[in-house]
Chains A and B, each alone.
Chain A
């Protein structure tokens, strides 16, 4: 299945060169978890702090088991804050 992956801030370095708007589409096995998707880009789980699927939070404890679906959008950030 196809999912969209967006890696922001210091995670941008794990994206292929020339990626536009930090966004790539990728093929993964059906039902893949966020950690499986991130592993395709070599993102170490401990570097991923904030993770959203379709804008909704996925807690660290759920990232191995959460079932992603076709056309889902995964967005991830390292530890960040601001305001």
Chain B
């Protein structure tokens, strides 16, 4: 029935690995992965805990569809209290690691305490052990994975690891698996590093049981047909990837540029999907091929190669080969936000982020904030170590990635993230963040739904918690006027609840460009025991959102944290169709609270908590 009914509890302080039963009652209320992991975290830690202390826990969670025959069923999440935000962190990744963990017979790993010395967790089916990682400490993610595969002489082992960024507490360090998929946001890699846990290596040879195999095969086969026949998931995403959005956002004036001072970028056409397939003088292209995560029939991932003549790799070695990226959010953060239009430089920086375990969005956005600090004189070459940190400088961008990856010089400041960096240099208004987390690649002045989505996202600025772009730009499920505020509270809430379901199920949110929640429901209902109706799923999504909200309120966050930087609320867009517009959060937030069943201060009422059985 989708679950092995087993949790691996790893106590790093004691050096123990123990099996315990999965709480099926909770699984029935929170599905799995993001929802169930958050439930465990909420029950087991004080939300006020220091995120980088041994008292924080790191939960590696799969969903009920992870590792099954469901299309895109390779997702898994890292749940903890996030150091970047002080809020709930639930970072989702693809690749092959999550399915392998499920094949090993584990639904979830709960990691607690802190090891005295660097260790890695090796899981081989039922056997789990902590092994010394002194020799791996200081190695990058790619070196770590290769070393572990060689050490255990099994090329089928799947590895999730941190790089040096996680070891030294870079506030947006991520956990990277399969070399270039990442549980990226909120600093989950820093939590792993704070526990002296370098990596988790997994090898599994068991299957994943489902409740009703015949019904499940029929439902998943039908759902794959939906993905194949849909023009977006069947053609658009595999051919062009997420990077196709670059020119869309630029044309409609929603592409944040130069640390959100602009909403359009002159160099957009040089760094988007079309540029990735543009032949170089030698006939090669940046894009090598597309790639799928486990069980995915969309295959939106990009595999790219830097020109050997490019300045970034002329004197280098391992970055010559083809590897993962660029995806849209990363290309935007490294490119439009910093004003750099050198595609191969962005690709190189992407490889460095994957190697060293840095969240691409937060890294690029923090460099953009530092470039603004440099431009206004809040920092000089004295702080940067002689680097001319100017907007548009590919060399400066690359140097910053190298310094953060090595944990050296001004890289330590960049590793603080935008909020702490700008506070350090007495310019907090320069930080483009919500709840301490940097924005992704959609300017809310051009899409009002995203203004509300960013402000109310439980993990800080994030596009994936409520992707109203889907309705405001692509017309899925319905076309909405991006500049309007009417109806945005309702659609934002609907997206947030539905995404909570998808993120808890073990599948990819990109499938929902073609799948309705009914398509997801049919697969889950066959996968799990009990009656998983659409109504139950929708209520569960709302319950998960409120559970996260409760965690944040208990951690000390308030209504005051549901806001946007003054730049977006007061400084109008300078160009494009949204010229003259600001983010009109105040018009939407009260309605949103009311629809949520929260008080005017953003606190769930007792009636709401009772209704959701929280």
Contact = CB atoms under 8 A, between A and B. Distances in A.
B248 A80 contact: yes
A77 B473 CA distance: 12
Interface in A14-63: 21-23, 49-50, 52, 54-57, 59
Contacts of B576: 55
B53 interface: no
A22 B236 contact: no
B577 A56 contact: yes
B342 to A, nearest CB: 16
Interface size grouping (class) on chain A: 20 to 34
B306 to A, nearest CB: 22
Contacts of A56: 252, 577
The B interface is mostly helix, strand or loop, or mixed, namely helix
A32 B577 CA distance: 21
Interface residues of B, number: 41
Contacts of B473: 50
B231 A77 contact: no
Given A80-B245, A81-B232, A55 B240 contact: no
A79 B239 CA distance: 11
B479 A77 contact: no
Contacts of B463: 83
A83 B577 contact: no
A80 B236 contact: yes
Contact of B237 (A8, A12, A81): A81
Contact of B247 (A8, A49, A59): A8
A65 B236 CA distance: 27
Q: Which of A8, A55, A77, A81 has the most CB of B within 10 A?
A: A81
A22 B513 contact: no
A57 B248 CA distance: 11
14 contacts: A9-B274, A10-B236, A12-B274, A50-B475, A57-B479, A77-B248, A79-B231, A80-B237, A80-B245, A81-B510, A82-B328, A83-B329, A83-B463, A83-B509
Interface of A: 6, 8-10, 12, 21-23, 49-50, 52, 54-57, 59, 73, 75, 77-83
Interface of B: 230-232, 235-237, 239-245, 247-248, 251-253, 269, 273-274, 300, 328-329, 463-464, 467, 469-470, 473-476, 479, 481-482, 509-510, 513, 576-577
